[in-house]
Amino acid sequence: MKIMSVVTFKVKDGYHEEFADAYRKAGSSSANFWRLLAVGEDTFVSINELPAVEDVVEREEVGIPWLDTVEHMLVKFGESRTSAFSGLVIEEYNNPDWTPEPGQHSG
């Protein structure tokens, strides 16, 4: 069963572009798709769809060391570098008329 992972990052002043570039370069080969949303001057939300629960563990093994490399750019949520949650996909819709732009996945 597919898993969706949603992670919020708050970045320090002056790191907006550098953080977005670091996220883009890191990518995610295990994800069906990922999106990075800018939801404010200092806040990003990452949305990833992973094929199975096992992929979440693999993603964390890669993601935690990556967080170490960008930690100097982040504002903490209490003791955590991110605010995150994930869950099982129980329903989905794919628009049959939607054609992705080059470089995008159709799902």
Q: What total of structural domains would you count in the chain?
A: 1
pLDDT > 60? residue 105: no
| Spatial separation of the C-alpha atoms in residues 66 and 25, rounded to whole Å | 11
| Spatial separation of the C-alpha atoms in residues 93 and 89, rounded to whole Å | 11
| Spatial separation of the C-alpha atoms in residues 34 and 50, rounded to whole Å | 9
Q: How much is the pLDDT for 102?
A: 66
Residue 49, domain CATH: 3.30.70.100
Question: What does the pLDDT look like over 19-68, one tens digit per residue?
Answer: 999 999 887 777 888 899 999 889 999 999 988 877 666 666 667 888 99
Q: The domain containing residue 10 runs over which residues? A: 3-88
Question: Residue 107: pLDDT band by 50, 70, 90 thresholds?
Answer: very low
The answer to whether position 39 is within a domain reads yes
The answer to whether position 103 is within a domain reads no
